[in-house]
Each structure stands twice: as C-alpha cells, then as structure tokens.
C-alpha cells in the first residue's frame, strides 16, 4: 500500500486490522518530511507527478489525504498510479473540492498571503496546512472523467458539504456558510461540495 504524501506519520497505520499481512510504503517529495515517519514499513522520496519508481502491477492500493489538490498535473499522477496498481487494486483519495468557498478564497489570494491567513485562523497549523494548492480536476465530474480515461472503475464517490469550520472565527460568515451548504446539498450540486472521497478500482 502506497501512502502518497506520507509526510511525518501515517494516519491510518494504527487502525489496520492485520499489519502482519500488509506493507505500507510512504511516498513524499520531501525527504525531510519523511524522516520522522515511524509508522510505515518503507519510504520513497519521489515527485509523484514525474513518476512512481516501482514495478508495474506491483501495488495493491494507493491512498492519500489532502494531496491531490497540491498537484500541478494530477492526470500524470493518475496515469502513473494506473501503471503500478495490480488489476483490481484500489485508488482511494480524500481531497477538497475546487469550487468550495474556502478553496476559491485560497485560489484567489497570493500563496504567501493565503498561508498567513490559514495559520492566523488555525493556530498550530504551520507545517500541516498552507502549501501551494491548484485544485486541478478536484471536483467530482472531472475526477470521474480522469479515472475512466486511465482504466479505473469508479467504485464509490462521496461528497461532504460541510466546510463552515473555516469561517467559525466570525459568526455571520459561519451562518452564511451553513446556509450555503444546506442549499447546495438540497440541490445535489456535488461539484460545489467541500470535500470528496473517491474510491476507484483498476480494471
């Protein structure tokens, strides 16, 4: 199992039912980020957009949390993932939606300013939040097309509409955000959701 953007720790390692039968390998572009990670069985320093230095059809699952929005070319990563996954291997990723209000604000502000705003309203988030984000293909209809194009069968796609924690620092903004969430949820506008969980299987 590849934990893409593995960073300092693997969030799900401790809840796996049978670690004796699973090998988790963390992949990250930063060697410094990977160095303290003691939750995994192996580490690979690589730019996942440029390639995955693994043999074809050798991986059972590729997973990530809040990584895809940071890729300049997510299609290249999907293509590399398709190559290294075994048939029926799983592609499981959680990421924010491009058209969520907090994501739109993040895209409109210069990166340095966006990072400072995040760290101001979320103390202690330095080193975890505030990396450059592009949100390319990070919405349901685009992700469906991308996965189909590269030989995946979409097993499940779930959209969370809740995002108001980003605006809880000012009650009127929070209330406006909650109202927005209820409306887009009621209308079933998935592309305007907040976060997306995608589970796909390699054909």
187-200 residue pLDDT tens = 999 999 999 999 99
Tell me, yes or no, whether 94 lies in a domain. yes
Range of the domain at 159: 47-202
Number of domains, the chain: 1
Closest C-alpha among 167, 154, 156, 170 to residue 194: 167
In a domain, 4, yes or no: no
Identify whether 143 is part of a domain. yes
Give how far Cα 185 sits from Cα of 32, 50, 94, 172, 181, Å: 40, 37, 19, 20, 6
- Output the pTM of the full model: 0.87
pLDDT in tens, 45-85: 999 999 999 999 999 999 999 999 999 999 999 999 999 99
Residue 178: give its domain's CATH number: 3.40.50
Residues 139-192: tens digit of each pLDDT: 999 999 999 999 999 999 999 999 888 788 789 989 999 999 999 999 999 999
Sign of the CA dihedral 175, 187, 139, 91? positive
160: its two tokens: 């969370």
């Amino acid at each position: 199992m590849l934990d893409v953007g593995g960073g300092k720790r693997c969030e799900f390692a401790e809840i796996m039912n049978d670690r004796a039968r699973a090998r988790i390998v963390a992949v990250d572009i930063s060697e410094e980020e990977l160095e303290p990670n003691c939750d995994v069985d192996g580490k690979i320093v690589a730019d996942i957009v440029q390639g995955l230095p693994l043999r074809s059809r050798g991986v059972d699952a590729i997973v990530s949390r809040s990584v895809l929005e940071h890729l300049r070319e997510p299609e290249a990563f999907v293509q590399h993932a398709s190559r290294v996954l075994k048939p029926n291997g799983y592609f499981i990723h959680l990421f924010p939606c491009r058209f969520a209000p907090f994501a739109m604000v993040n895209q409109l502000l210069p990166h340095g300013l966006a990072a400072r705003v995040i760290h101001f309203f979320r103390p202690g988030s330095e080193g975890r939040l505030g990396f450059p984000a592009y949100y390319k293909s990070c919405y349901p209809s685009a992700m469906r097309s991308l996965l189909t194009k590269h030989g995946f069968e979409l097993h499940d796609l779930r959209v969370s509409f809740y995002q108001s924690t980003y605006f809880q620092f000012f009650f009127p903004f929070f209330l406006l955000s909650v109202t927005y969430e209820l409306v887009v949820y009621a209308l079933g506008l998935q592309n305007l959701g907040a976060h997306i969980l995608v589970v796909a299987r390699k054909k």
